[in-house]
């Protein structure tokens, strides 16, 4: 039974805490949040104790591993502290909004064998995993096109957007990682991005933010990758993958609460709406992600989704922003 500490008890932190609390091989031992009431509420639900600081979490000899679900600005610091304390860490994305801080963190933890896992949960979705396995098995022949669709049901609050670091670092970063996952080592070498505030131009101008993006990428082998994002989709949380090759096409489709389809005078092939948002859509993936982290924490070795995956996803985001600024395709700087 692993004793897990959780730093950050907001929406995603509460979800992580509930998953640990329900797991047969783990115990939510300690929680911490700068908002004391949030930590106390989760502790009351799970039986965890409340730490008065993040430092106390890392110094606690009874803590075996740490999940970091705090604000992004703390992620790199907490990764460094977890590694220094010898505690495996699962950290939500992104590692940081500034690639220079990510590089500094990379240097600080270099040469250690403490597992660091980044919270790209979509890699653990059964449909996405099946698509990747089929691509790797050559079912469509050589992969020539990969299409990634990700559209949120509704835009987040102004407060959220002001701290998110831009849609491409906050939202699209999941899609960059998912593309890299499916590509299986065929790294992206060039990025061409289009983005704008097309859903709410007034809000976009006020916050200097975009709400729609199309990002075209080329890999080292010449394969084409298209990511399309939107901050608003009134029909639900839209999450799809499509892989194309000379021998066929593969799709990982949206999930619905049930598979009932209705045929009536008013509608043909009317089905249930998509899952409302990421916690519901990727519930199975979040559980599998935790299983993977606990296994790595017990046995050691490399995490399934490691620090370098987080770094490379942010490098793609940086290339996309450079493309937007320059109005052209740009090379990805991903030197080892």
- Over 45-69, what HEC string results? HHCCEECCCHHHHHHCCCCCEEEEC
pLDDT in tens, 141-194: 999 999 999 999 999 999 999 999 999 999 999 999 999 999 999 999 999 999
Q: Confirm whether 267 is domain-assigned.
A: yes
Separation of alpha carbons 288 and 130, rounded Å: 14
Q: Confirm whether 56 is domain-assigned.
A: yes
In terms of domains, do 74 and 151 share one? no
pLDDT band at 293 (very low <50, low <70, confident <90, very high): very high
Of the candidates 114, 146, 164, which is a domain's last residue?
Answer: 114
In terms of domains, do 87 and 151 share one? no
In terms of domains, do 213 and 327 share one? yes
Q: Is the per-residue pLDDT at 335 higher than 90?
A: no
pTM of the model: 0.96
Q: Is the per-residue pLDDT at 334 higher than 90?
A: no
User: 3-class DSSP state for residue 139?
Assistant: strand
Q: What are phi and psi of 88, to 5 degrees?
A: -55, 145
- Over 112-133, what HEC string results? CCCCEEECCHHHHCHHHHHHHH
Any idea what the CATH number is for the domain that residue 254 is in?
3.30.360.10
In terms of domains, do 260 and 155 share one? yes
Return the structure tokens found at 250.
């593969």
Separation of alpha carbons 292 and 247, rounded Å: 33
In terms of domains, do 269 and 146 share one? yes
In terms of domains, do 73 and 174 share one? no
**How confident is the model at residue 95, as a pLDDT?**
98
Separation of alpha carbons 286 and 277, rounded Å: 13
**How confident is the model at residue 333, as a pLDDT?**
80
In terms of domains, do 150 and 49 share one? no
Helix (H) or strand (E) holding 272: none
Q: Which residue has the tokens 């009536």?
A: 264
pLDDT in tens, 221-280: 999 999 999 999 999 999 999 999 999 999 999 999 999 999 999 999 999 999 999 999
In terms of domains, do 19 and 85 share one? yes
* Dihedral (Cα; 159, 162, 164, 169), 10-degree rounding: 150
Average confidence (pLDDT) over 189-209: 97
Q: Is the per-residue pLDDT at 106 higher than 80?
A: yes
In terms of domains, do 186 and 323 share one? yes
Q: Confirm whether 166 is domain-assigned.
A: yes
pLDDT in tens, 10-58: 999 999 999 999 999 999 999 999 999 999 999 999 999 999 999 999 9
In terms of domains, do 233 and 94 share one? no
Separation of alpha carbons 242 and 82, rounded Å: 37
Domain limits for position 227: 123-285+313-331
**How confident is the model at residue 124, as a pLDDT?**
98
Q: Is the per-residue pLDDT at 133 higher than 80?
A: yes
pLDDT band at 336 (very low <50, low <70, confident <90, very high): low
265 DSSP assignment:
S
pLDDT in tens, 58-82: 999 999 999 999 999 999 999 999 9
327: alpha, beta or left? (left if phi > 0; alpha if psi -120 to 50):
left
Under a CB-based contact definition with an 8 Å cutoff, are residues 291 and 307 in contact? no
Length of the chain: 336
């Amino acid at each position: 039974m692993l004793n897990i500490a959780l730093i950050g008890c907001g929406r995603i932190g509460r979800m992580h805490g509930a998953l640990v609390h329900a797991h047969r091989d783990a115990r939510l031992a300690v929680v911490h949040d700068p908002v004391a009431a949030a930590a106390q509420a989760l502790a009351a639900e799970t039986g965890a104790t409340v730490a008065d600081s993040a430092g106390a979490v890392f110094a606690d000899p009874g803590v075996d591993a740490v999940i970091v679900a705090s604000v992004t600005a703390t992620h790199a610091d907490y990764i460094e502290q977890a590694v220094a304390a010898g505690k495996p860490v699962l950290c939500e994305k992104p590692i940081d909004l500034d690639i220079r801080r990510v590089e500094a963190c990379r240097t600080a933890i270099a040469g250690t064998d403490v597992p660091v896992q980044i919270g790209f949960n979509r890699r653990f979705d059964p449909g996405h995993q099946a698509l990747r396995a089929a691509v790797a098995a050559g079912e469509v022949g050589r992969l020539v096109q990969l299409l990634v669709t990700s559209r949120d049901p509704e835009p987040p609050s102004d407060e959220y957007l002001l701290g998110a670091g831009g849609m491409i670092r906050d939202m699209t970063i999941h899609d960059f990682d998912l593309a890299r996952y499916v590509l299986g080592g065929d790294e992206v070498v060039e990025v061409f991005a289009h983005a704008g505030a097309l859903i709410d131009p007034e809000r976009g101008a006020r916050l200097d933010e975009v709400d729609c993006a199309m990002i075209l990428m080329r890999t080292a082998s010449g394969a084409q990758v298209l990511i399309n994002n939107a901050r608003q989709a009134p029909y639900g949380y839209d999450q799809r993958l499509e892989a194309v090759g000379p021998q066929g096409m593969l799709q990982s489709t949206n999930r619905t609460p049930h598979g009932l389809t209705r045929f009536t005078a008013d509608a043909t092939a009317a089905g249930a709406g998509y899952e409302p948002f990421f916690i519901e859509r990727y519930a199975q993936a979040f559980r599998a992600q935790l299983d993977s982290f606990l296994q790595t924490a017990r046995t050691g070795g490399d995490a399934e989704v490691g620090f370098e995956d987080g770094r490379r996803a942010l490098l793609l985001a940086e290339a996309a922003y450079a493309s937007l600024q320059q109005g052209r395709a740009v090379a990805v700087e991903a030197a080892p």
